[in-house]
Structure 1
Amino acid sequence: MLRFWGQPKFSREPLEPIGYELFLREYNTGNWEIPTDFSKFTATQITDLLTRTTPEFPQKMKHISINLDIDQFVDPVFLQAFFAIKQQLSGIQLSIELTERTGQLNISPSQLVTAAKRFNDAGFYIILDDVSSGDNQLARVKLLNDFVHEYKFAIQNFRPFESLEDIVPNLTFWRDLAQKNQKLFTIEGVESKQDLLILSHYQADMFQGYALGRPIYLPTQDDPDSVISESTTCY
Structure 2
Amino acid sequence: MIKFLGQPIYDVASGKRYGYELFIREEINHELVMPVDFSRYGATEITQLLAKTVRHLSEDIQMLAFNLDERQFIDHHFLQPLVKLQRQTSVKICIELTERLGAGEAPVAARQLVDAARSYQRAGLHVCLDDVGTGNNTAALVGLLLPYVVECKFALQNVRNWETCDRIKTELHFWRALAAKQHIQFALEGIETQPDLKWVQEFAPDLVQGYYFGMPGEMTDTNDSLVN
Class of the TM-score when normalised by the shorter of the 2 chains: over 0.9
User: Which shifted more, 174-183 or 187-196?
Assistant: 174-183
Q: Counterparts of 1:51 and 1:98 in 2: how far apart (Å)?
A: 19
In structure 1, the partner of 2:175 is 174
1:124: how far off?
0.7
Report whether the alignment pairs 1:68 with 2:68: yes
Render the CA deviation track for 1:76-107: whole Å, top value 9, x for unaligned: 1111221232222x211111100001232432
Please tell me the root mean square deviation across aligned C-alpha atoms, in Å.
1.8
Q: Counterparts of 2:187 and 2:214 in 1: how far apart (Å)?
A: 15
Q: Counterparts of 1:162 and 1:23 in 2: how far apart (Å)?
A: 26
Q: Counterparts of 1:161 and 1:98 in 2: how far apart (Å)?
A: 23
Q: Counterparts of 2:216 and 2:152 in 1: how far apart (Å)?
A: 20
User: Which shifted more, 134-143 or 104-113?
Assistant: 104-113
Render the CA deviation track for 1:184-221: whole Å, top value 9, x for unaligned: 10011001001101111211100011111211124xxx
SS at match of 2:55: helix
Report whether the alignment pairs 1:132 with 2:125: no
In structure 1, the partner of 2:5 is 5
How much identity, in percent, do the aligned residues show? 38
Kindly indicate whether the alpha-carbon contact (under 8 Å) linking 1:211 and 1:233 is maintained by their aligned counterparts in 2: no
1:138: how far off?
0.5
SS at match of 2:108: coil
SS at match of 1:22: strand
In structure 2, the partner of 1:221 is none
User: 1:24 is matched by which residue type in structure 2?
Assistant: I
User: 2:16 is matched by which residue type in structure 1?
Assistant: E
In structure 2, the partner of 1:148 is 149
Kindly indicate whether the alpha-carbon contact (under 8 Å) linking 1:2 and 1:27 is maintained by their aligned counterparts in 2: yes
Going from structure 1 to structure 2, the CA distance change for 1:31 and 1:233 (only over 3 Å counts) comes to farther
User: 1:55 is matched by which residue type in structure 2?
Assistant: R
Report whether the alignment pairs 1:80 with 2:80: yes
SS at match of 1:66: strand
In structure 2, the partner of 1:210 is 211
Kindly indicate whether the alpha-carbon contact (under 8 Å) linking 2:10 and 2:226 is maintained by their aligned counterparts in 1: no
In structure 2, the partner of 1:98 is 97
TM-score by length of 2: 0.92
In structure 1, the partner of 2:193 is 192
Render the CA deviation track for 1:40-97: whole Å, top value 9, x for unaligned: 1121111111121112112111211111111111111111221232222x21111110
In structure 2, the partner of 1:56 is 56
Kindly indicate whether the alpha-carbon contact (under 8 Å) linking 2:86 and 2:92 is maintained by their aligned counterparts in 1: no
In structure 2, the partner of 1:39 is 39
Q: Counterparts of 2:221 and 2:33 in 1: how far apart (Å)?
A: 20
Kindly indicate whether the alpha-carbon contact (under 8 Å) linking 1:11 and 1:206 is maintained by their aligned counterparts in 2: yes
